[in-house]
Amino acid sequence: MIIVGFAAARKQMGPLHSGVQFNSFHRSLSSPCSKESWILFTVFVFSLASLFIYILQIGWNNVAGLAAVGIIDTDVSLKVLRSEMGNSFEGKYHWYRLFMRDFLSMSSFGFFAHWLMSRSRNAFFIFFGSFAVAAFSMLMATEKGPLLFYLISLFMVYVIVKHGGRITLYAGALSATAGLVIAGVMYIYFMGTSNIGDGFASAFSRITTGEMADLYYYLTIFPDQVEYLLGRSFPNPLGIFPWEPYRLTVEVMNIVNPDGEKLGIVGSAPTFFWGEMYANFGYLGIIVPPFFVGYVVYTINILIFRLPMSPLVLAIYVWVLMHIKNISSTGLSSYIIDVTGLIMLIFTLIVMSILGGGVIRYRRRRLQSLFARSGSCTGNLRGSRL
């Protein structure tokens, strides 16, 4: 059904690569202007400040990553420390995460693209500093996935800038091997795996079957142990809807592993997005939502491809790809009211307006025919003034 959604969007809006072939994506890249460099640097500074404030709030002695490598001594287990840094964090964790993960990684992607294009020493040191900070932010809660996906994102930036988006078999195999090695090492330090071989095996098992294992729990719990939720796992901002939000991934983990809740550990059991749809609406939730997922993903891609490429826009594009990929391991409800995505959209519009002197410039493409059919003249313009 995702493919059907792609096909429907393509038929309505035109080929994704029309006018701007992805294989020659790098040819349309331009060096960053001074405004863009300052925007990237400002975003990085705010992200760094957010990370520093977050660590001050939890305390340096409670940073799980530092305890895992022996930099600090603590009697608290890594699982409890990790839980207190995320699911059990006392405060608005999602706002900290927005800056110290999302905006921080996005600025790092832009610095990396700038260095690849300029090869200047200053650009390298700026990128290296952002890389060090971002890597620490990804690892400080002993989470393994964020660092791997951050490195994958950097690899995507490199492939787009240097090879026009084409990944050779050798490069793909080399990057996959490197990722497996890094994951194996993290399993040794963060999960207590005894040796590198067991670390590789655990990492490979988690990568290939992790979400599938949790999906089994969803299929067995609903509706035999818990009735279908009928939307209760969806966001309920300001309590405007007549239901109490159901923390689906946390509640599933509490059912699967009740001892964790007794020990004060707040775990989670995320799975594919249609797992949540099944928990809410049964098998109907597996069939219908994927169509809209495919349609929306295609639409987002074709809209971003219309923007003039630069290191900043490329960084936003890669961030969007990584944001969308989370749907493979989290619920669809988080995208219904996607605060993070909305903030990034507003940020993109403001940035493009600043860089365009008050005008958001974009390439003319077959999408304009859709605007024409809907009675809008936007498609006939090359810039839209805010």
pLDDT one-digit tens code per residue, 268-290: 777 777 788 888 888 888 888 88
309-348 confidence digits (pLDDT tens)? 788 888 999 999 888 887 776 777 777 778 888 899 899 8
Percentage of the chain exceeding pLDDT 70: 79
Least confident of 58-62, 110-114, 314-318: 58-62
**CA gyration radius, the chain:** 22
Name 359's bridge partners. 385
20: left (phi over 0), alpha (psi -120 to 50) or beta: beta
pLDDT value at position 17? 58
pLDDT value at position 207? 64
Pairing state between β 383-385 and 359-361? antiparallel
265 — pLDDT class (breaks 50, 70, 90): low
Distance CA 317, CA 323 (A): 10
Contact 218, 275 (CB under 8 A): yes
Mean pLDDT of the chain: 78
pLDDT value at position 26? 52
156 token code pair: 């995507």
308 token code pair: 């003039």
DSSP at 103: I
User: What are the DSSP calls for 232-283, one per residue?
Assistant: TTS--GGG-SSSPPP-HHHHHHHHH-HHHHHTT--------HHHHHHHHHTT
- pLDDT (mean) for 124-141: 92
Distance CA 117, CA 179 (A): 25
**Per the omega criterion (within 30 degrees of 0), is the bond before 223 cis?**
yes
For the chain, how many residues are written?
386
pLDDT value at position 132? 95
Contact 26, 162 (CB under 8 A): yes
The 3-state DSSP class for residue 378 equals helix
pLDDT value at position 45? 95
- pLDDT (mean) for 117-143: 90
pLDDT value at position 324? 86
